[in-house]
Amino acid sequence: MMDGPPRMHVHVEPAMGTMVSIRAEAPALAWVDVEGAVGDACARIHALESDLTTWDSQSPMSRLRRGELGVSDAPEPVVRVLELCAEVRELSRGWFDPWSMRGGVDPTGLAKGWILEEAMAVLRTSGVASAVVNGGGDLCLLGTPPDDGRRWRVGVQHPWRPDSFAAVLSACGSVATSGTYARGLHLVDPRTRCAVPAAASATVVGPNLAVADGLATALAVGGDEVLECIERTCTYDGYLIRADGSEAATQGIEFVPALAEDARR
Amino acid sequence: MRPRPRDAHRRGRRAARNRGLLAGSSLAGFIAALAAGAVSASPPRAATPSSTLPPTTSPSGTSTSTTPPSSTSPSTTAPSSTASPSTTTTTTTPPATRSAVGSTEQYGYGSIAADVTVQGGRIVAVTVSSLSTAESYSQSLAEQAIPVLKQEVLAAQSTQVNGVTGATYTSQAYLASIQSALDTLGP
């Protein structure tokens, strides 16, 4: 079975209120082992989701929100996600603030990214060499692309033309996008709790998808001010499409200009 | 644009019981349909990739089942069916656009057929020409899965991108969370 082109294992799993797709390639592993690794990654997603969901009123996270469960008694995933939330609140100067949500702390804007990182960790420790875990448009990237590229090329969905890209970015680590185009809503400014005309599309690239996920949420609400916060992190980069269609990006964002037009479909 | 109806999560509770039913099986069927469509392309005709499904920006709610995805056997994703674009290669220059409807494939809870458009050896559009499911919540799940599968197929054979980032399939939970905040703010 070592002959022929590299085989990409493709799997789509309904989870976290969205579809999670996993594409994994592991030339050194038997096919059945890649299947096993993907199955384990999915099991990890569901296990963590059951701790962190705010949809199940009896989940540890829901009980913590109601004050029935102290942080010191909460399962480790809840503690870890809350730590990351505090970190991103700091990085974003309060623009990402799960503690401002009505009904108690709501880490949903970051938890999905963290769970996807954990799923990728399962793949990595299983020996998978190259993988994309895509949870509803938030991507976790492992290794290098199966074609000979050294960095992944990620299309940023155009906020108003569903079949087009606004840009193609060269990335590694993770890519998260937040925006209002998919739901036609405005976001809430955590400082004033007022609805604000949010960015059309806010993309963050960086080493950890949990942090990128939270920062993308902040960028969608805070716009240019958060872009400056992201620039200061030195490890994350941001690409903002404002409500009026104008764009801005941090220094480190790598566009793939020649592809942007051609890759549109 | 208005906020999506918020009843989607109710379907999600029931759908959770069938977690994973689409995962391996429909993907294999879908890709098999793709392959069938690509290799048995009908004579050239104008490509009219029309969406035959409603927009699927309304994923079902976060499921709460604690059971692992036992039935999610990816084994049905046969190696040979993982989007091998080479079978679609044509020698037409300039690249003509051709499309064809693939065979109707069963996936356990229904059947699906894909309409594929190729241009110069690349799949440039995928639509679903028919989809039937035994029950309405299977339909709901299938409609969510298809755009993802489509994206995977296009990305898998694309030399241009390895993935697509966007806010299309946003977390219903987060959406509801924002919505609840907005509800308290009033119009």
CA A232 to chain B, closest CA, distance in angstroms equals 23
Q: Which residue has the higher pLDDT, A222 or A124?
A: A124
Q: Are A123 and B133 in contact (CB under 8 A)?
A: no
CA–CA separation, A54 and B82 (whole Å): 36
Q: Is the pLDDT of residue B18 over 50?
A: no
Question: Pick from B39, B13, B160: which is nearest to B100 by CA?
Answer: B39
Least confident of A131-135, B43-47, B126-130, B177-181: B43-47
Does B56 touch chain A if contact means CB atoms closer than 8 Å? no
> For residue B178, is pLDDT > 70?
no
CB contact under 8 A, A156 and B165: yes
Q: How many CB atoms lie within 10 A of CB A59?
A: 22
Cβ distance of A136 and B171 shorter than 8 Å:
yes
Lowest mean pLDDT among A75-79, A92-96, B60-64: B60-64
Nearest to B63 by CA among A19, A66, A98: A19
B174 by DSSP, 3-state: which? helix
- ipTM associated with this complex: 0.82
pLDDT (tens digit, 9 = 90+) per residue, B75-134?
333 333 333 333 333 343 456 777 766 666 665 556 666 666 666 656 666 666 666 666
Cβ-Cβ contacts under 8 Å, B4 against chain A: 183
pLDDT at A219: 93
- Residue A38: φ, ψ to 5°: -65, -40
Q: Is residue A203 within 8 Å of residue A177, measured between CB atoms?
A: yes
Residue range B38-91, pLDDT digits in tens: 322 223 323 333 333 333 333 332 222 222 333 333 333 333 333 333 333 334
| Confidence grade of residue A31 (pLDDT, cut at 50, 70, 90) | confident
Strand B163-165 versus strand A152-157 pairing type:
parallel
Average pLDDT, chain A: 86
Sign of torsion, CA A32 A33 A36 A41? negative
Nearest alpha-carbon partner for A41 in A119, A112, A114: A119
In terms of Cα–Cα distance, which of B48, B32, B46, B42 is closest to B127? B48
Tell me the chain A residues in contact with residue B3 when contact means C-beta distances shorter than 8 Å: 183-185
Please name which of B114, B118, B42 lies closest in space to residue B85, comparing C-alpha atoms.
B118
- Over range A204-216, report the average pLDDT: 97
Range with the lowest mean pLDDT among A36-40, A98-102, A187-191, A243-247?
A187-191
Q: pLDDT tens, A42-53?
A: 999 999 999 999
Instruction: Produce one character per residue of B114-153: b if its CB has 16 or more CB atoms within 10 Å, e if not.
Output: bbbbbbbbbbbbbbbbebebeeebbbbbbbbbbbbbbbbb
**Inter-residue contact A163 to A264 (CB < 8 Å):** yes
Q: Are A185 and B182 in contact (CB < 8 Å)?
A: yes
Residue B2 pLDDT level (bands cut at 50, 70, 90): very low
Window 14-33 of A, Cβ < 8 Å to B: 14-19, 21, 23, 31-32
Which residues have a Cβ under 8 Å from the Cβ of A234 and sit 6 or more positions away? none
